[in-house]
Structure 1
Amino acid sequence: MMTRYILALLLLCTSVCSLAQEKEDQIEQTTDNNGPKADEPAEYPGGMMAFRITAAESTDLSFLSGTRTKISSLAKFAVSTEGKIEDVSVTGNNGTFNKEIERVIKSIKTKWKPAYYNGEPVKVWLNVPFTATVE
C-alpha cells in the first residue's frame, strides 16, 4: 500500500518536473533581494529529477490511507553559497502534507552545487511544487 503512495507521488513529481522543463517558471530560482538570476543555477547532484526521487522515497503518505484525494504544496527554500538547503517553508492545501514535505526537504543532506553570479557563489531561492494523488 505504501509503495502505491510513493509511486503516485513520484509519478506526479515526474509529470510536474516535465512541465517545469517546458515552462521555466514552474521551478524558479531567484537570488536574494530579488536580484538578477544567477549565471549558473544551483544544481542538485543528478539534476532536479534526482532531487524529486530522493524526496519521494523519503515521503511518508500513510496519513492519506483510505482516502481519495489530490493535494499539492509549494516548497520554498534557499540553497546557500555552500550548497546547503536553508530556510525551508511550505504552503499548500493540506497542513499535514506541508509539514511532511518540509520534514523531507530538511532531511536531505546531500549538498547542491551552488548557483553562481559573475563567477561568485550566491544564495538562491527555489520554488518547487509537490503534488500527491491517492486513488
Structure 2
Amino acid sequence: MMKKTLLLILLLGLQLAFSQTLQKEESQIQTDSASGIQKLSDTMVSAEFPGGLSALRNHIGNEFKTSNLKGTGIFKSVTKFLILPDGSMSAISTTGNSPAMNQEMTRVMRTIKKKWKPATRNGQPVESTFRMPMTISMD
C-alpha cells in the first residue's frame, strides 16, 4: 500500500512539474516614470490544445509506438513547436537522449490534425512556442 501511495504521489508530482500550464497575466495600469503617462500592460493567454493537456497526452499515448525504441532504460525527450495564430502547428523538433525516441515523438506530433486555440495578446491571436517533455522507462 505504501509503494502504491508513493508511486501515485511521484506520478502526480511529475505531471505537475512537466506540464505546460495556461498562463494568464492580469492587465495592470503602469505609469511611465519619465513621462507620467499611464498605459495598460499586455494581457497574454497561452495556447491550449482542444480538450486540454490530458487530451494531448492521450493522443501521444495512442499514437506512440514503443516498438520503435530499442534497448532498456529511461528515454527522455523535449518536443518544441510553434502554434501559429490560426491554431496550426509548425516547426516541430525533438531533442533528447535517444534518436529513436526523438524521431518517434516528432512523428507523433505531426499526426495531430486538430487546431489549437492559439495564444492571445490583448485578445488578438499570436504565434507562441510550446514545449512537450516526455519520459518513458523501458524495462
1:125 match:
129
- 2:92 aligned with 1:88: yes
**Using the alignment, how far apart are the partners of 1:14 and 1:47 within structure 2?**
17
Q: How many residues align?
A: 112
- 2:110 aligned with 1:112: no
- How far apart are residue 85 of structure 1 and its match? 1.0
Please give the per-residue CA displacement for 1:75-120, whole angstroms capped at 9, x wherever unaligned. Answer: 0001110111110010000001000000000111011101100111
After superposing on structure 2, the runs of 4+ consecutive aligned residues of structure 1 that deviate more than 4 Å are: 12-15
Identity of aligned residues (%): 32
- How far apart are residue 13 of structure 1 and its match? 8.6
Q: Which has the higher helix share?
A: 1
TM-score, reference length from structure 1:
0.73
Q: Amino acid of the residue matched to residue 73 of structure 1?
A: S
Unpaired runs of at least 5, structure 2: 1-9, 23-41
- How far apart are residue 56 of structure 1 and its match? 1.2
TM-score, reference length from structure 2:
0.71
Q: Select the structure of larger CA radius of gyration.
A: 2
Please give the per-residue CA displacement for 1:20-79, whole angstroms capped at 9, x wherever unaligned. Answer: 35xxxxx378xxxxxxx96111001111111011011100110336x4311000100011
